[in-house]
Structure 1
Amino acid sequence: MLGRIFLNPAIGRLRVWSTRHLLTMQLKTKEFQSLFTDGLNGIADLFAKNQYELRIAGGAVRDLLSGKRPEDVDFATTATPEEMKTMFQAAGIRMINNKGEKHGTITARLDNENFEVTTLRVDVQTDGRHAEVEFTTDWEKDAERRDLTINSMFLGLDGTLYDYFNGYEDLQNRKVRFVGSACFRIQEDYLRILRYFRFYGRVASEPGEHEPETLEAIRENACGLAAISGERIWVELKKLVTGNHAAHLLELIYELDLAQYMGLPPEGNVEEMKRVWSCAHSLSPKPMTVLSALFRGMDNVDKLDLRLRISKEEKTLGLFLVKNRRDLVRGEDPDDRLRPYTDFIIDSREVDIQNKVCELLKYQGEEKLLAEMTSWTVPRFPVSGHDLRKVGVTSGKEIGNVLQGLRDTWKKSRYQMDKDELLSTVKQS
């Protein structure tokens, strides 16, 4: 491989060379060059001046190699947190959010940009959730502690890619593998089980191309998820469900006996979920829309909330879908199949009801009706109790009954009758 030059259309022209452990190459793409703002150039100059190495780390490298401009860029360095603080203070650079300092992370703010920089480290003790770390200047050791090969690469600010565990090759082949032993990596942090699934959905071309030993390691360590906080599981699960191959990955979660530790119903309706995913995945459903297909009853939503502490909005959406997915369906009139949904919205007192109905249409795979609902503006019922008093209806109970009757008449007119037309029917009665 020494001195070999090749062209990859997604990455650009690269010069590749290798040592016994390390594959390096030179990256020059517009996505990479676009990262160099005044702020980053200032940070880079400061580290270089103080003779500390600074490289882009983790997911940002993966994205750049995939031809994407990363939304977030994390940096790694040979400087310790104390050395970084001394350096930033001397340069008059403000530091914010010191919560990550224990694990080596300092966040500096320059030219209205935040730069999160973490000291190279090794995990000296882990309990499956948290790690005690020790700082190092060895880039390979830091790469070795990371979860997946595609997340273990570094990119120098001159464009040099440092790849110790064949992450670039795996990315090119769309393979998702743990660094070293899958079992050992998982036991360092059991949440890596779900991160594996999430990145499989992002990277793999096809479902079902997992390495058998990886799946066996996941099965053997499934119970470790029980000790992971619901909030952390929910963050990963939502990303998994909105990625590629979500139906396959959720089915795999059941096959590997993970569901019981994640708040998902042990006897989830996997076939219904697969049907809903096939109908809805192109319509950008919310995570709860897909997951609710697993639920056989509303109590499943309550149990999910108890384990994962989902938001109130997510819980009410799940309850709404389970309650209405069978009864609220398209109308029989071929010219107005949206009618049952619009009438439901008119009658409803629920908050954000139109958006909930849109998610129901995604669940049901009603793409055409979804487009109609998205562009539909909820009309305002034109009559009030005050209007009825003007025409002689004064009893509170009677006002309620008359308003409901007028609302039904208005709905039958497809919301076209105005106030005078509706009030005229009261006078005639």
Structure 2
Amino acid sequence: MNGPLRLVKLTTRAIASLTLNIPQRSRGLKTMSGRDVSPELVAQLGKPPRMRKDPAFKKVQTPEFRSVFTPELKELEALFKKYDYELRIAGGAVRDILMSIPPKDIDLATTATPEQMKAMFEKEEVRMINANGEKHGTITPRINDKENFEVTTLRIDIRTDGRHAEVMYTTNWQLDANRRDLTINSMFLGFDGTVYDYFYGYDDLQERRVVFVGEADIRIKEDFLRILRYFRFYGRIAKDEKNHDEATLAAVKENAGGLARISGERIWTELQKIVVGNYGSELLLEMHRCNLFEHIGLPVEPNLEEFERLCAGLENFEKPHYPILYIAGMLHSVDDAMAMHKRLKLSAYERDLARFITQEREKVGTDYTTLRDYQKLCLKKYIQRDYVEQLLKYSNKLELYNQLKAWVTPDFPIRGNTLAEHGLKSKRLGLVLDELKLLWADSDFQLTHKELLTKIPDVLEKIPSSPKRVK
């Protein structure tokens, strides 16, 4: 059952509360199709446990706040004011400014509908881009041909399936804040510096608490990806690695299966940020305890001992590290790596690095012991040098890692066309070239072009006349 339908049970107590907090002019809500919305439907939004009586309780004039006011943003603000539409900074930028962090991106929210914005921008001859955003209520004007701004109409999710939502537009800021996931992401910031905080998100931010707006179970069922967003923001905000709200973790565990309905690309985007953030290893272990792994492509019984060894070893190396490097420690085998790739749709580099590490890590300290061993590994076909460097990091071989990083690969004296002149071609040529590179490495890279050519007969004796295709 989806989130809003479950909230029908809250209708009686929610109507009274929400009605008291909605200005008279804003009670008339309409869906994107224009139909009226009943009080019962509004009640399905749920009742947050705490609502601030005066949401406009504070003003900021910090350097981080003033830094967002480019000439283009000022011009956009003036345009909305001219047409009597309210415009505020929303979401993550508000959170960052209140944490004294210069925001990277500015998202804006408005009381104007997409149609009203389009009419306004067309009249003022403002260029609009990214037409795909309109179906989600977002218009993207480009001001002075310099800066793009995503401006989204205030809205309410009226039907959800755990991935997508049917929305209606509103002019009520509190209702828009009520549909957002976490209290720290539900605040707005006026252009005069006024902080609009309906659900004590400011207090939670000061205390470094990460909690959902209202009931965690309801918010998660609206979009199951919010499970991973919870862990990502916990890593960004929390002061302690083990300060989770138990009711929130219970809701996460209860809804773990919902992640199976989320695309691998969206999951991997969140997972990468979690593992390289604060408390990354601890958060992954907490996610495992919440039974998330089987739904996001990681082993149900992960290689926890190896993962903990890896995380401890990576502390000896300069950050940042590739997210996939951490995840590789959870895997038991190459098969695990490929199963993960099938679910998460990794990049080719990430897929091949995970496969390379799970395949080669057992050879570290046995087959591979010296710098020369790793140099030769770098020369092999289909193996990128960076793979070998990551393998050394993974294996906590700091000295060998630094030596390999400092090594400048010399130019191999022979080219393929030279071997072709000696009657070699196709796969056989490639195999001979690979063997000559290894002989060259064993000579401390001293063998000359002429000397290497004399080695060809010996190499040919080792290679079958019809070699099988090398994958």
Instruction: Give the alignment partner of residue 186 of structure 1, picking from 210, 216, 220.
Output: 220
Pick closer, same or farther for the CA change 1:386–1:137 going to 2, 3 Å: closer
Equivalent residue, structure 2, for 1:248:
282
- Is 1:283 matched with 2:324? no
Hey, what's the Cα distance between the residues in 2 that align with 1:133 and 1:332? Answer: 58
Contact 1:328 1:341 in 2 (8 A): no
Q: Paired residue for 1:224?
A: 258
Q: Is 2:398 aligned against 1:372?
A: no
Distance 1:140 1:419, change over 3 A: same
Mapped pair 1:168 → 2:199: no
After superposition, the C-alpha distances for 1:345-394 in whole angstroms (9 at most, x for unaligned) are 12x1115x11112221221223343333333332222134766899xx77
Query: Contact 2:55/2:195 (CA < 8 Å) preserved in 1?
Result: no
From 184, 198, 201, the counterpart of 2:232 = 198
Are 2:381 and 2:434, in contact at CA under 8 Å, matched by a contact in 1? no
Once residues 53 and 345 of structure 2 are traced to their aligned partners in structure 1, the CA distance between those partners, rounded to angstroms, is 47
Alignment of 1:99-248 (within 5 A): 99-111=132-144, 112-248=146-282
1:81 to 114, 130, 134: 114
CA contact (8 A) 2:368 2:374 kept: no
* Unpaired runs of at least 5, structure 1: 1-17
| TM norm structure 2 | 0.79
Work out the CA distance in 2 between the residues paired with 1:52 and 1:366: 60
Q: Distance in 1 between matches of 2:416 and 2:81?
A: 74
C-alpha contact 1:328 1:340 (8 A) present in aligned 2: no
Where in structure 2 are the equivalents of 1:201-350 lying within 5 Å?
A: 201-280=235-314, 282-329=318-365, 337-346=370-379, 348-350=380-382
Say if 1:76 and 1:388 are closer, same or farther in 2 by CA, change over 3 A.
closer
Output the CA distance in 1 between the equivalents of 2:445 and 2:147: 51
Shift of 1:241: 1.4
Moved more, 128-137 or 29-38: 29-38
Partners of 2:340 and 2:428 in 1: CA distance: 44
Question: What is the match of residue 69 of structure 2?
Answer: 36
**Quick one: which amino acid aligns to residue 302 of structure 1?**
M
Deviation at 1:399, TM superposition (A): 8.7
Partners of 2:450 and 2:181 lie apart in 1 by 68
Find the aligned partners of 1:260 and 1:389 in 2 and give their Cα distance. 51
Partners in 1 of 2:123 and 2:430 — Cα distance?
73
The answer to whether the 8 Å contact 1:330/1:341 transfers is no
Does structure 2 conserve the Cα–Cα contact (< 8 Å) formed by 1:362 and 1:370? yes
Distance 1:368 1:208 in 2: 34
> Partner letter of residue 238 of structure 1?
Q
* TM-fit CA distance, 1:332: 8.6
Question: CA 1:399 to 1:184, structure 2 compared with 1: closer, same or farther past 3 Å?
Answer: closer
Give the partner amino acid of 2:442.
K
- Of 227-236 and 113-122, more deviation after overlay is shown by 227-236
Letter in 2 for 1:312: A
Cα displacement (A) at 1:30: 2.1
Distance 1:87 1:412, change over 3 A: same
State the percentage of identical aligned residues: 47
Structure showing greater relative contact order (alpha-carbon pairs closer than 8 Å, 6 or more residues apart): 2
Q: Is residue 372–residue 441 contact of structure 2 (8 Å, CA) maintained in 1? A: no
TM-score, reference length from structure 1: 0.86
| Paired residues of 1:289 and 1:363 also in contact (CA < 8 A) | yes
Name the SS for the 1:63 alignment partner.
helix
Determine if contact 2:55/2:198 at 8 Å carries over to the other structure: yes
* Distance in 2, Cα, partners of 1:94 & 1:395: 60
Moved over 4 A (4+): 329-333, 384-390, 393-406, 420-427
Q: Is the 8 A contact 1:331 1:338 kept in 2?
A: no
Change (3 A) 1:418 1:157: farther
Aligned-partner SS, 1:294? coil
Alignment: residue pair count? 403
